[in-house]
Chains A and B, each alone.
Chain A
């Protein structure tokens, strides 16, 4: 009897010892103490392996900040982030299978989901924040402070001069700077204003497109008759030279975004897949880190927190994908 008891105790001890160190290979970064009520804690020092992400230029400053923080807190591996536009990023993720995480400033399309499934990936959506799309003009522009959707439609399509939209405005050509066709910002704007039709905006005169929002900012800074639109972060960073318009009388701010009164508030996403997260635990670690701390950094980057429900859903998606993995 004694022998059995001793054996049982030994077994239990061995068992608890093993389970204490039972973090599976690749998941040594999981800590019980966490800064988040839902997700496990992430010890960046213990994350190993590389992560490749690409996509939206809007999401880029946010991801860049999170990567920097991840590194700052101890991650030693290699992360690359490419700012190439939501469309191109999702292409790399769903068709070429070249990236672990896709950054997008629009929701994934069903055609993209199909392509991903063809290569064995089931896209998983993580809502990480909200952008208040900024329609910006030069700071020295005094004639326009607000636009309603109809005016915006004219400004970005058929109108040639400012006076065509509103006779009180100057008789000068409208100089337009818009994101390129690979950009989620472009897709969102076109959908909001023109339905699915790209012809009106792409047929406009004096049009410059670029997937690089910095080029657009410089363009708008260059003339009092220029107008452009991009993620709010790019406006915030260049507040001294730009002015943002109110849309339908509502100016973009944390409050109007939160209350969903700003008409051009749009979600920001990361996409990955459960398979990738499980095969590459460092991706899971990075995503958990991202979701845990994004609200601490997002305002200073220039965007706005996602609604609490949406963020919670993202965290739940993470947990569901990683169930039993660690």
Chain B
């Protein structure tokens, strides 16, 4: 190119390069939007899970003292008197049945009085951001409106939160019933969907011939994978809860009580979600099986193996790591599902942990949904805490999936 021609082109090239650099920035920013959104979400959840709370006694411990002696210094006999005077007879009976009051130490009785009579309650809570930035303001407000209250920093996610069942008061609420419900349900889902899904995938990849029937089957599976989850909920309601009520309520097996048996059980929920994840597992397993090189199969046939022997001893082990990863991802999806379970009938308030697959149930996402819908600020806090539990659970599962996959593929390579 001559000098003259180069001069003509030069400004064009510069402009094009500038435009190029600008757009590169745009593309990068687009990616950052995703990251910023994720960060905002996590921060919102964390913001609501920790913070200052204003605690106040329902009955001031100071008023429970006697003869000028404060509560901590009272004799066991006097503490027992306070308990019997303030608590209902039924409660006393129950405490007695656990351990007679007369046998409890002074420390134990004192703690009982504090927990049951004085009753520290949360009257106001603040988010993490507010707690860190507006501490002075909060303190002033508290001085004016609730001079008796204590200000304490509280993590709404705590061991106690994990092991307590539901309660009507947010500060006492816990996710144990919901966690157990989720776990029971997911066991059923996996137990049903995994063999069926992998089996169907094996059929489609190894046995099925290229004909209309197979194509219909394949298209059908792809379509099912795109159906909204709430439609599966409607299906579950009509088929598992209503049509198969005798099976899912346990009436067929004489479990549960016949007067009010109904199909709104963990079994129905598990089956509904199994139907939901089945197409996902099939598609994923198909891809995994397809990725196994033909040479592996041929060498097995060459040595005289039958089709099934080839599949069971060679193809499946070779694809197992990817099948497993895909299954765990599908299961993660199932654990987070809420809409189909609302339709199938998760309960609003369940007091007892699941005892069998025919129990009524609630799950972690349903709990989050219910708590989020309540307007009181403290329910935001427990909803956020429950979200943290759910996210940690999912993170653990996905990490386990990745680790397992790496381990299996390493074993296979070495073995």
Consider the complex of A and B and state whether they touch directly, i.e. have CB atoms less than 8 Å apart: yes
Q: B-contacting residues of A (Cβ < 8 Å)?
A: 33, 35, 42-45, 49-50, 52, 60-61, 64-65, 67-69, 71-74, 76-84, 96-100, 212, 214-215, 217-218, 221, 237-238, 241, 276, 279-280, 293, 296
CA distance A197 to B97 in the complex (A): 56
CA distance A50 to B249 in the complex (A): 14
Binary interface encoding of chain B residues 343-363 relative to chain A, with 1 for a CB under 8 A from any of its CBs, else 0? 000011111100100011000
Contact A221 B375 (CB under 8 A): yes
Contact B259 A73 (CB under 8 A): no
Contacting residue for A77 out of B167, B264, B347, B352, CB 8 A: B352
Closest chain B residue to A279 by CB distance?
B259
Contact A73 B349 (CB under 8 A): no
Question: At the interface with chain A, which of B31-39, B88-96, B304-312?
Answer: B88-96
Q: A-contacting residues of B (Cβ < 8 Å)?
A: 88-91, 93-94, 97, 167-168, 257, 259-262, 264, 347-352, 355, 359-360, 373-376
Of A49, A69, A83, A214, chain B has the most CB atoms within 10 Å of the CB of: A214
CA distance A42 to B360 in the complex (A): 25
Contact B376 A98 (CB under 8 A): no
Contact B260 A293 (CB under 8 A): no
Contact A96 B262 (CB under 8 A): yes
Which residues of chain B are near A279, meaning CB under 8 Å? 259
CA distance A280 to B257 in the complex (A): 9
Contact A72 B373 (CB under 8 A): no
Chain A at the B interface: SS class = mixed
Of B93, B260, B352, B376, chain A has the most CB atoms within 10 Å of the CB of: B260
* 5 smallest beta-carbon distances between A and B, as pairs: A78-B352, A73-B90, A74-B94, A98-B262, A81-B349
CA distance A221 to B94 in the complex (A): 41
Which residues of chain A are near B261, meaning CB under 8 Å? 98
Contact B360 A60 (CB under 8 A): no
Distance of A66 from chain B, by nearest CB (Å): 10
CA distance A100 to B257 in the complex (A): 11
Contact B93 A45 (CB under 8 A): yes
CA distance A49 to B352 in the complex (A): 11
Closest chain A residue to B90 by CB distance?
A73
Contact A43:B90 (CB < 8 A) given known A82-B347, A238-B376? yes
Which residues of chain B are near A72, meaning CB under 8 Å? 91, 94
Contact A60:B88 (CB < 8 A) given known A72-B94, A99-B260, A276-B259? no
CA distance A250 to B375 in the complex (A): 27
Contact B360 A74 (CB under 8 A): no
Of B168, B262, B351, B352, chain A has the most CB atoms within 10 Å of the CB of: B351
Distance of A289 from chain B, by nearest CB (Å): 8
Which residues of chain A are near B375, meaning CB under 8 Å? 214, 217-218, 221, 238, 241
Of A35, A82, A100, A296, chain B has the most CB atoms within 10 Å of the CB of: A82
Which residues of chain B are near A73, meaning CB under 8 Å? 88, 90-91, 93-94
CA distance A96 to B242 in the complex (A): 10
Of A33, A78, A212, A237, chain B has the most CB atoms within 10 Å of the CB of: A78
Which residues of chain A are near B94, meaning CB under 8 Å? 44-45, 72-74
Contact B257 A44 (CB under 8 A): no
CA distance A279 to B373 in the complex (A): 37
Contact A52:B260 (CB < 8 A) given known A72-B94, A214-B375? yes
Distance of A218 from chain B, by nearest CB (Å): 5
CA distance A52 to B249 in the complex (A): 14
Distance of A81 from chain B, by nearest CB (Å): 4
Contact A67 B351 (CB under 8 A): yes
Contact A80 B347 (CB under 8 A): yes
Which residues of chain B are near A33, meaning CB under 8 Å? 89
Contact B88 A81 (CB under 8 A): no
Contacting residue for A214 out of B168, B259, B374, CB 8 A: B374
Distance of A83 from chain B, by nearest CB (Å): 5
Contact A68:B260 (CB < 8 A) given known A78-B352, A221-B375? no
Which residues of chain B are near A217, meaning CB under 8 Å? 375
Contact B373 A214 (CB under 8 A): yes
Contact B90 A44 (CB under 8 A): yes
Which residues of chain A are near B374, meaning CB under 8 Å? 214
Which residues of chain A are near B88, meaning CB under 8 Å? 35, 69, 73, 293, 296
Contact A74 B97 (CB under 8 A): yes
Which residues of chain A are near B168, meaning CB under 8 Å? 61, 64-65, 68
Contacting residue for B349 out of A80, A99, A214, A293, CB 8 A: A80
Q: What are 14 of the A-B contact pairs (CB < 8 Å)? A: A42-B90, A60-B348, A69-B90, A72-B94, A77-B352, A78-B360, A80-B347, A80-B360, A84-B348, A97-B259, A98-B262, A100-B259, A214-B375, A217-B375
CA distance A131 to B186 in the complex (A): 41
CA distance A240 to B350 in the complex (A): 29
CA distance A114 to B260 in the complex (A): 19
CA distance A33 to B92 in the complex (A): 14
Of B90, B350, B376, chain A has the most CB atoms within 10 Å of the CB of: B90
Contact A68 B93 (CB under 8 A): no
Contacting residue for A237 out of B97, B360, B376, CB 8 A: B376
Contact B359 A78 (CB under 8 A): yes
Which residues of chain B are near A293, meaning CB under 8 Å? 88
Distance of B140 from chain A, by nearest CB (Å): 18
Contact B259 A35 (CB under 8 A): no
Contact A68 B167 (CB under 8 A): yes
Contact A80:B257 (CB < 8 A) given known A45-B93, A68-B168, A74-B97? no
Closest chain A residue to B242 by CB distance?
A96
Contact A71 B351 (CB under 8 A): yes
Contact A78 B351 (CB under 8 A): yes
Instruction: Give 16 new A-B contacts, CB below 8 A, not counting A80-B350, A81-B348.
Output: A42-B90, A50-B352, A52-B260, A52-B360, A74-B90, A78-B355, A82-B347, A97-B260, A98-B262, A100-B260, A212-B373, A218-B375, A238-B375, A276-B259, A280-B257, A293-B88
CA distance A60 to B370 in the complex (A): 14
Which residues of chain B are near A35, meaning CB under 8 Å? 88-89
Contact A50 B257 (CB under 8 A): yes
Closest chain A residue to B359 by CB distance?
A78
Closest chain B residue to A72 by CB distance?
B91
Contact A280 B259 (CB under 8 A): yes
Distance of B257 from chain A, by nearest CB (Å): 6
Which residues of chain A are near B373, meaning CB under 8 Å? 212, 214-215, 218
Which residues of chain A are near B260, meaning CB under 8 Å? 52, 97-100
CA distance A260 to B257 in the complex (A): 42
CA distance A42 to B89 in the complex (A): 10
